[in-house]
Amino acid sequence: MKVQTKSKKVNKAWLNDHVTDPYVRLAQKEGYRSRAAYKLKEIDEQLGLIKPGQLVVDLGAAPGAWSQYLRRRFAPKVAGQGGAAVGELNGRIVALDLLDFEPVEGVQFIQGDFREEAVANQLAQALGGAAVDLVVSDMAPNLSGVENVDAARIEHLIELALDFCKQHLKTEGALVAKVFHGSGYSQLVELFRQNFQVVKPIKPKASRDRSAETFLVGMRLKRAAR
């Protein structure tokens, strides 16, 4: 009974935080599927990563807030408004996730597990041989609560994202990837430093303070794309 009571209290506290969260309210007001859009927005505004005409790959895209933000950056602006017009985009977005994904206009979606070679090949085929300007990854494994196991799972996803970048990213391109502070974090930073000339860790304001979540941004590959 004590465990159930504690669980109810935790759930109630989380729900209260969620309902009163200003980014949740802003996402609802501005039509984003989740508050995550503002994490990418802040990173973009700090570093100027997203520019019209780019090819961007969104890994771990569901429920779609990052793809929505990318689409708005590539869409014609509505006169006198802050929104984005319906129609052809000045840029291309390819999104991938294991989970189902409600369509976002102008975004090409592939459903599958990025850890599987066949899915990675399908993503490569979708690019049609074009080099990628930016890879954004909100991928995260199912966490077990066992620190060294979770660290290994996170590192595996980062390694896959880096391998994808080495094959498809332009030399001057960038990777934005979600990671977590804790066991293995310093190794992930080192992995980024091995592959990029510039590495910046960013904790967006839209990421909750108590969350171990942070983002690593790697810019300018040290090794040219194939």
Q: Residue 66, annotated ligand binder?
A: yes
**Residue 84 β-bridge partners:** 77
Q: How far apart are the C-alpha atoms of 162 and 210, rounded to whole Å?
A: 27
Q: Residue 100, annotated ligand binder?
A: no
Catalytic residue among 39, 41, 170, 178: 178
**Residue 199 β-bridge partners:** 218
91: left (phi over 0), alpha (psi -120 to 50) or beta: left
Q: What is the DSSP string of 28-88?
A: HHHT-SSTTHHHHHHHHHHH----TT-EEEEET-TT-HHHHHHHHHHSPBPTTSSSB-SS-
Q: Residue 17, annotated ligand binder?
A: no
Would residue 166 show up in a list of annotated catalytic residues for this protein? Answer: no
Q: Which residues are annotated as a binding site for S-adenosyl-L-methionine?
A: 64, 66, 97, 113, 138
Q: Give the active site residues.
A: 178
